[in-house]
């Protein structure tokens, strides 16, 4: 079995895979991460290897501690991958984006795939039907947009996301919700349309913490998979286990 540690911008996620099947998925905090890992390892002594993906800076001592318990791969742009990376600056490509494309390359091997990760940022990543990663885009996420309206104006309140009943705002609050929610929905649909016009038979995967919020609003057909990044990390771990 495999241990997956995904240290994201907001909070870390932990998962245990038995081959391609997820047995456990948990959210942790950075303060409790070591204890959470210890609990999982104790409960599942047959875990034989693990992978750490971090878009933040995990302490080396934690990785050393974990590596003393099970063999650990730390995902970087130099890790062995199951796709061809054509990004102009591969050393700057985020490990989260690498993992998402790895999942696309495994589960949609001969398809044109656009992966949209709606989290702290909204990332768009495209691989073609030859399993070549071409590139994508990075955009401010939902929370960043709400926060920036409050941070950079004198009078606009900081709101939490809520269901959008109309694209026409009739108060300051509903106007903000329309601008943020509807604006991001239109952005995502627009990006999907751009890729669809250039690449036929496009498969679109929507994942990330805010994926559920947007899934019902998008006009384009999508596959929603909240575990897509974890699946990609597990795939990369399997690719690198004999390295």
Catalytic residues: 96
3-state helix, strand, coil in the chain (%, to 5): 35, 25, 35
Ordered alpha helix ranges (H), the chain: 33-43, 60-67, 95-107, 142-151, 172-177, 183-198, 211-215, 228-240
Asked if residues 2 and 51 have their Cβ atoms less than 8 Å apart, the reply is yes
10 is in an annotated binding site: yes
Give which of 140, 86, 147, 90 is closest to 118, Cα–Cα: 140
13 known ligand binder:
yes
DSSP-derived 3-state class of residue 8:
coil
Asked whether residue 241 is marked as a ligand-binding residue, the answer is no
9 is in an annotated binding site: yes
Q: Determine whether the annotation assigns residue 6 to a binding site.
A: yes
Residue 7 annotated in ligand binding: yes
Q: Is 97 annotated as a binding residue?
A: yes
Please say whether the beta carbons of 184 and 143 come within 8 A: no
Task: Give the relative orientation of helices 33-43 and 60-67 as an angle to the nearest 10 degrees.
Answer: 10
Distances, alpha carbon 185 to alpha carbons 167, 190, 208, in Å = 11, 8, 15
Tokens linked to 114: 């656009």
Residue ranges of the binding site for K(+): 117
Residue ranges of the binding site: 6-13, 87, 94-97, 117, 120, 172
Residue ranges of the binding site for ATP: 6-13, 120
Residue ranges of the binding site for substrate: 87, 94-97, 172
């Amino acid at each position: 079995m495999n241990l997956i540690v995904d240290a994201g911008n907001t909070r870390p996620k932990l998962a245990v895979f038995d081959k391609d099947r997820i047995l456990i998925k948990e959210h942790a905090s950075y303060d409790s991460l070591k204890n959470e890992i210890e609990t999982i390892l104790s409960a599942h002594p047959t875990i034989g290897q693990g992978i750490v993906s971090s878009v933040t800076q995990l302490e080396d001592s934690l990785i050393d501690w974990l590596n003393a318990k099970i063999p650990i791969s730390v995902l970087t742009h130099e890790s062995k991958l199951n796709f061809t990376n054509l990004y102009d600056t591969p050393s700057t490509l985020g490990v989260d984006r690498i993992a998402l494309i790895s999942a696309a390359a495994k589960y949609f091997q001969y398809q044109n795939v656009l992966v949209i990760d709606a989290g702290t940022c909204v990332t768009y990543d495209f691989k073609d039907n030859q399993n070549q990663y071409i590139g994508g885009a990075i955009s401010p996420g939902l929370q960043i947009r709400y926060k920036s309206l409050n941070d950079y104006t004198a009078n606009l309140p900081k709101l939490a996301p809520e269901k959008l009943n109309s694209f026409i705002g009739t108060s300051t609050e509903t106007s903000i919700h329309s601008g943020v929610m509807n604006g991001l929905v239109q952005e995502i649909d627009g990006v999907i349309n751009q890729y669809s016009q250039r690449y036929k038979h496009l498969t679109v995967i929507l994942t990330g913490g805010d994926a559920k919020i947007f899934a019902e609003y998008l006009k384009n057909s999508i596959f929603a998979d909240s575990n897509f990044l974890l699946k990609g990390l597990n795939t990369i771990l399997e690719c690198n286990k004999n390295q």
